[in-house]
Amino acid sequence: MIVKHVVVLPAETVADITCDACCQSTRVEGYGLQFGTLQAHWGYGSKHDGERYEVHLCEPCFFRTLSGLRRERMVNIMFDENPGRGYAEIRQKLGHSFCKYMI
């Protein structure tokens, strides 16, 4: 014979996440929370050893950040003798959809 003891416990749920860049809600009416996360966990030997960062970004701020990364990458490889090298590496890491807009 199995005896079950059921207890109702309050559950903790995330009601909203605020974008760390623009301080707006990431909630999209009818679709829930829509956000991207940028995180870093710096390890031994790093200048920031032991530090952890996690940034939550709403959709517009997330893609604005990606745009900045694309520009930075473009500037870094602009005068490279073999510009395709960097493109292939970042495309593999970040996926085709990220890189299709790169020069």
What would the pLDDT profile of 77-100 be if each residue is shown by its tens digit? 877 777 665 566 666 666 655 555
Distance from C-alpha of 50 to C-alpha of 52, rounded to nearest angstrom: 7
Domain boundaries of the chain, sorted by first residue: 27-99
Q: What is the pLDDT of residues 51-62, one digit of tens each?
A: 999 999 999 999
Using the predicted structure, report yes or no on whether residue 101 has a pLDDT greater than 60. Answer: no
For 77, list phi and psi in degrees, rounded to 5: -110, 5
Distance from C-alpha of 10 to C-alpha of 15, rounded to nearest angstrom: 14
Mean per-residue pLDDT, 10-18: 91
Q: What pLDDT, on a 0 to 100 scale, did the predictor assign at position 45?
A: 93
Q: Which stretch of DSSP H or E encloses residue 32?
A: strand 32-33
Report pTM.
0.66
Mean pLDDT of the chain: 84
